[in-house]
Amino acid sequence: MFRSHRELICRALHAASRPFRIVRRWFKPGGAILTYHRIAPADSGPYGITTTPEHFAAHMEHLRRTCRPMSLTELAACTSSGTVPPRAVAVTFDDGYVDNLLHAKPVLDAWDIPATVFVATGYIGGEREFWWDELEQLLLGVRELPRRLELEVSGHLYGFAVADPAHREALLWELNTLLRGLPAEARNAALTAIRSWSQAVDRTREDRRPMTAEELLRLSSDGRVTLGAHSVSHPDLSCLPVAVQRAEIRESRRSLEALTGQLVAAHAHPFGFCNAETVAIVKEEGFELACAAAESSIEAGDDVFSLPRYIVRDWTSPTFRRVLEHHLVDRHPARTL
């Protein structure tokens, strides 16, 4: 996957500064943005983005009892003004899976924790699974596959050997990387070709479908959950021409604002990937903040158009506490809150 030199340098500098940021949190307030994807019963899928409802409930209880949960926009405003309060944490979800409404919302309500759900708006309505889930089904959800896949993508012919079933997961990641950098039409054409090759049954799994418009309205109706833009088709924006990036970013926001009648202030880059043009577009389009890929804590003065987030896995309560306490929030004891 191609990255600009500037982006690579920024990432390297961010990584190099990590030890200093951890040490500074002993002395200086600092918080975190947490990212979840699916909240659902245990899932052995390849992506590792599902947290069980039991673990999620334990995470939220810990946040409410020992941290200062706040909305993402509030945390970004504190970051800009240089006044991040001790142990500030914002909770976010990516993509718009239906389980966010079914399993996460009741827990957020029970512990009174605000959250932002970033929605890939092209999938609202749930007619198809998100493209990475569909790709998983096409490769891992069938008993037999042809031994070779030939795929034409944007005028290039790619060949993949599928001789051993054990190679399927490696192929999944190879194709995932190839498809994420494509504009929507080219990706859909590739998926159609893979579907025809795989002969997998064309079905949308109920437990991982995207939310409908009505479900998104229910999720956000009481204001505890805010909706954020996450592109239309969920590409790696940094691989796309500026005009395509702008259309993805603008249309995602427009759809959500038309649906809810509310202004959409936040954007999260799909996969966390962006380049200088992506950041410029998000600013020009009038967003207040954007979230990027770096897994790190938040400090006062951080750029609110490249806010780092930490992806939470299906961690037990002790693991969640360890990550939060040792890597993300500052060392103010909970009793001072």
Which among 86-94, 184-192, 208-216, 289-297 is the span making contact with Zn ion, rule CB under 5 A? 86-94
Q: Beta 32-36 vs 88-95: how paired, if at all?
A: parallel
Which among 95-103, 189-197, 214-222, 298-306 is the span making contact with Zn ion, rule CB under 5 A? 95-103
Contacting residue, 34, 89, 94, 227, with Zn ion by CB under 5 A: 94
Q: How far is the CB of 47 from Zn ion (least distance, A)?
A: 11
How many C-beta atoms surround the C-beta of residue 312 within 10 A? Answer: 22
Q: What is the dihedral of CA 38, 42, 46, 50, to 10 degrees?
A: 20
Whether the Cβ atoms of residue 33 and residue 296 lie closer than 8 Å to each other: no
Tokens for 58, please give them. Answer: 């334990």
Q: How far is the CB of 95 from Zn ion (least distance, A)?
A: 4
- Our CB check for Zn ion shows the closer of 95 and 136 to be 95
95 binds Zn ion (CB under 5 A): yes
236 binds Zn ion (CB under 5 A): no
Whether the Cβ atoms of residue 282 and residue 239 lie closer than 8 Å to each other: no
Which among 168-176, 239-247, 255-263, 264-272 is the span making contact with Zn ion, rule CB under 5 A? 264-272
Which one, of 328, 326, 317, 323, lies nearest residue 65 by Cα? Answer: 317
Which among 25-33, 42-50, 169-177, 263-271 is the span making contact with Zn ion, rule CB under 5 A? 263-271
Instruction: Give buried/exposed letters for 186-221 (b at 16+ CB in 10 A, else e).
Output: ebeebbeebbebbebeeeeeeebbbbbbebbeebbe
* Residue closest to Zn ion (Cβ): 94
What number of chain residues touch Zn ion (CB under 5 A)?
A: 3
- Our CB check for Zn ion shows the closer of 94 and 330 to be 94
248 binds Zn ion (CB under 5 A): no
How far, in Å, CA of 133 to CA of 284, rounded?
A: 32
Residues of the shown chain interacting with Zn ion in the complex, contacts defined by CB under 5 A: 94-95, 270
